[in-house]
Amino acid sequence: MKSEWERLIERFIREGILKSDKVIRAMRLVSRDKFLPENLRGYAAVDTPLRIGYGQTISAPHN
């Protein structure tokens, strides 16, 4: 079963958002959840910026 993160990557490839093999490989190796507070990790594959505290956000994956 594919993870939500992998499905998001595949969608970005199909839509032409991800074209670089190096970027695709990097996204597959390091998912966004590793940079999120624990309470937001379930939203890692949501394609939107997320508030991470201290008045800061983490960018949407497509940026």
Catalytically active residues, by annotation: 59
Instruction: List C-alpha distances in Å: 21 to 10, 33, 53.
Output: 12, 21, 32
Cβ–Cβ contacts within 10 Å for residue 31, how many?
19
61 in helix, strand or coil? coil
